Structure formats: C-alpha cells, structure tokens
Amino acid sequence: MPRTPQPRTAVLASADLSFRTRVREALTGLRWEVQEAQGGAEALAYLEARPCEAMIVDTWLPDLEIQEFLAECEKRHPQTDLIAVDDPGPERGPERTQARSPRRNEVLLALRRGQDADHEPQGDGASWNGMPEMTPVHDRTVVREEIFVRGTAVVEATRPGAEPGPGTVRLPELIGEAPAMLEVSRRIRLVAPRAATVLVQGPTGSGKELVARAIHRLSPRANRRLVALNCAAIPDTLLEAELFGHTRGAFTGAVQGRIGRIEAADGGTLFLDEIGEMPLALQAKLLRFLETGEVQRIGDNDPIRVDVRIVAATHRSLAEMVKAGSFRADLYYRLAVFLIRTPGLGERPEDLPLLVERLLARMAEQAPVRRLSAEAMERLRQHAWPGNVRELQHVLERAAILAAESPEIGAAEIEFGETF
C-alpha cells in the first residue's frame, strides 16, 4: 500500500493577499502545509515557534529589506530553504545569485506544478529529488530561474555574500536614519508579531501614534481593527463608558446601549494615547481587563471575553508619575512589558535634511512645491523643535504656501509658530 506522505511545511511571507492565495493554493494542492505571514518579522516569529522546511518570501516585504530578511533566516535557521518570489511588476527585487539545493528545487517544482493538477507528484516527496528539470545546478551556472505560478514569476532566492548593513533598516513610514530611530524600527519589528503590550514614550509630535500603527500593520492582527482612544481628549466622567461600553439606562443620558472601544477592538489592537491622563480609578479597571481579558459594560454584570492587544502612549514619564502617586505602579509594569521611546527631533538633528526632503516630496504629491534654499535649511537647523516632526510638517506647509510665487523657499518663508 502506498505510504501517505507527511505534509511538508513552509512559511509563506508576503503583504499581498492575492499573491499568498495563489502560492498557497499551489502548495496545499501538493500536500504542503503553509503558514502565511504578512511581513518578515511575522514570518521569522513563525519559524522561531516551529521550524519548517521552506521559507517562501516575496522580494518586497513591508517591514524588512529582503537581503536583511534572508540573512536573518540563514543565520537563525540554516536548515530552512529560502525561496524569494518576484511578482512581475515594475518594482523588481535586487539581483539574486545562489546555488540551489535539492530541497529548494522541490519547492520550485511544487510551485510550477501547482499550475497543473495532472502533474501532481506521487510518493513521499523524496522522489522529487533529482527530477531531470531540477537537478541541482552549481554556482553561477544558472543565476536566475523563472517559474510561473498562475502569472507569478518565481525566482530563486539568493543570499549574496554582502552583509545586509547594520542589521536594522527603518520602516518605510518612519523617516529618520539616526541610531535612535533605527532602534525604534528594530523594536517595532521585534514586538509586532507578538501579543505583548507596548508602551510608547516620547515628546509630542515625535511619532508615537505612527509607531502604534506600524506595530498593528506588522502584527498578525493587521486585518482586524486598530481602535484609537485619546485619554486626554475625553472628560474623565465619560472615559469609562468610552472604554468599557454601557447598557441602555446605565446612567443619566445613556438612552442607548453602546459597546466600548475595548470590545470594538476585539481581535485587533487598541491604541490608548495619553495614557498618563487616565484617572486612577479607571486605571484599576483597565488593569483588571489586562489581567483577565474580560470587560464588563457599565450596567451589565456579565463579563465579555475579548482578545485585544494594547499599545499605550504617553509624552509624560510614567515612572515619575508612579513616584508621585498619580499612576498605578502595577498598571505601569503591566503596560511597559515592552518599551519604545520615540526621540524628539532635537535629539536627532542629523535627520533634519532627510525629513525635509521626504516631507516636501509628500507635499508635492498634492501641489507644486519649491525647493528649499540653503539659508532656509540653516534656519531650520537653528530651531529647537519643541513640537518635533509635527511642527516641522506645519512649518514646511506654511513655507510652501508663502513661497508659491518665489523661485525657492527662502529663509524669510520659514516662520515658526507660537511655542508653549
């Protein structure tokens, strides 16, 4: 009796759902068990949790440079074969060169045969080794192989000898190459795939919300909701109902029942901005939720189980607040499982030119924008930036409007607003 082959295991990493679907269908039809990841960090987390035979990865990842990703896989999981897949399109990945191993050939073959059910291989998979079309080719004989899976060009992965730089590459939405910013990106990528609570600390306008959104985008929860609540923007008396929800008639004015933001974020992420402004009594209730995973709407005795990841942010030092007795120590420890500190612009002056260039380029997508003169740049350099990147954005927007009739943005067009 023919032996039923064990499913072979692969992680498939791509941000593109249709791409994942095509490749997954091709492989599961061939008895591969495929774990899908939306980005590099998530894919690495899957490999950590359960080693598998192959890593199939899109050459464009939302969070990691492909070379960095491949090097990381190679270092941590030398047993896993790597295959980078190029979707045909204007953005091709970098040139790839690498000798192929027999097992990698199997995956390529599986992908190719996914087009055609008649070719479904029989046996235990070992017999695929040495298929005539796929006999291993030694270094440099073939540098590139394209196989089409329903319109997708599959190109062999490569790990050229070059090291992938400092081991950390910034996330696309976070502008800045200063070490403190690269550390922010690194921390986001490390924590995103996990369920850990994150505390983001940094001055106003330094990108705390951007960090929360990036964590959500790179997490397995990315296709569920990110719900944001600014604790400073809601009167203390309403904050509890906003967080936990309430039944009809639970308090004066509650003419209808409403679910709270925690429940609304079920399966996703809740971003609690300005957590330092939360009243002490409510802090105790939030802690209870974090410990039990249950919420109780105001006016209702039945607890409801929810699965929510919390990312909290503050511009204040919560540790100082704990010392002063205005923030609960137990909640602080529970929130600060993983800390990310967003640096103020004053701490990373070397990023100013890059920020200016990228922010002006973004503005130019909406309306024509003049170039910045050297004098204007110098004026920007002299400023202390208490409002950080948000303030820079506003200064540049104002300057672009003022310079509409000038050949360039001059120092005269750089106006700083009020500082507080």
Ligand X SMILES: Nc1ncnc2c1ncn2[C@@H]1O[C@H](COP(=O)(O)OP(=O)(O)OP(=O)(O)O)[C@@H](O)[C@H]1O
Dist. CA 318–CA 90, nearest whole Å:
47
Least Cα distance to 169 among 65, 84, 15 occurs for: 65
Q: Which of 106, 273, 277, 413 binds ligand X (CB under 6 A)?
A: 273
Is 202 a residue that touches ligand X (CB under 6 A)?
Answer: yes
Dist. CA 143–CA 140, nearest whole Å:
6
Is 206 a residue that touches ligand X (CB under 6 A)?
Answer: yes
Is 393 a residue that touches ligand X (CB under 6 A)?
Answer: yes
Measured from the CB atom, is 22 or 348 closer to ligand X?
348
Is 343 a residue that touches ligand X (CB under 6 A)?
Answer: no
Is 344 a residue that touches ligand X (CB under 6 A)?
Answer: no
- Scored b (16 or more CB within 10 A) or e, 85-104 reads bbbeeeeebeebebebeebb
Matching residue, tokens 């820079």: 392
Dist. CA 143–CA 136, nearest whole Å:
12
Measured from the CB atom, is 115 or 393 closer to ligand X?
393
Is 315 a residue that touches ligand X (CB under 6 A)?
Answer: yes
Smallest gap from residue 169 Cβ to ligand X (A):
14
Q: How far is CA 60 from CA 9, 39, 172, 174, 362, in A?
A: 22, 9, 12, 17, 22
Measured from the CB atom, is 47 or 181 closer to ligand X?
181
Dist. CA 108–CA 97, nearest whole Å:
15
Measured from the CB atom, is 209 or 300 closer to ligand X?
209
Cβ neighbors of 334 (< 8 A, separation 6 or more) are 197, 287, 290, 291
Rg, the chain, Cα only = 26
Stretch that binds ligand X, among 46-54, 99-107, 156-164, 201-209 (CB under 6 A): 201-209
Exposed / middle / buried, residue 177 (Cβ in 10 Å: 0-12, 13-18, 19+):
middle
Stretch that binds ligand X, among 61-69, 160-168, 320-328, 385-393 (CB under 6 A): 385-393
Q: Which of 39, 114, 164, 176 binds ligand X (CB under 6 A)?
A: 176
Tokens of 289: 């939720």
Measured from the CB atom, is 255 or 367 closer to ligand X?
367
Tokens of 360: 């002006």
Is 258 a residue that touches ligand X (CB under 6 A)?
Answer: no
> Which residues inside 17-46 make contact with ligand X, applying CB under 6 A?
none
Report the 10 Å Cβ neighbour count for 380. 23
Is 207 a residue that touches ligand X (CB under 6 A)?
Answer: yes
Is 174 a residue that touches ligand X (CB under 6 A)?
Answer: yes
Q: Which of 389, 395, 403, 409 binds ligand X (CB under 6 A)?
A: 389
Stretch that binds ligand X, among 55-63, 128-136, 145-153, 168-176 (CB under 6 A): 168-176
Task: Confirm if 226 and 265 have CB atoms less than 8 A apart.
Answer: yes
Is 175 a residue that touches ligand X (CB under 6 A)?
Answer: yes
Helices (H), 145-201: 179-191
Tokens of 48: 């950590």
Q: Which of 9, 21, 28, 204 binds ligand X (CB under 6 A)?
A: 204
Q: At 226, is the secondary structure helix, strand, or coil?
A: strand
Smallest gap from residue 344 Cβ to ligand X (A):
9
Q: Which of 39, 40, 164, 205 binds ligand X (CB under 6 A)?
A: 205
Is 209 a residue that touches ligand X (CB under 6 A)?
Answer: yes
Stretch that binds ligand X, among 48-56, 75-83, 134-142, 197-205 (CB under 6 A): 197-205
Sign of the C-alpha dihedral computed for residues 126, 18, 226 and 59 taken in this order = positive
Smallest gap from residue 48 Cβ to ligand X (A):
28
Return residues touching ligand X (CB under 6 A).
174-176, 202, 204-210, 273, 313, 315, 389-390, 393
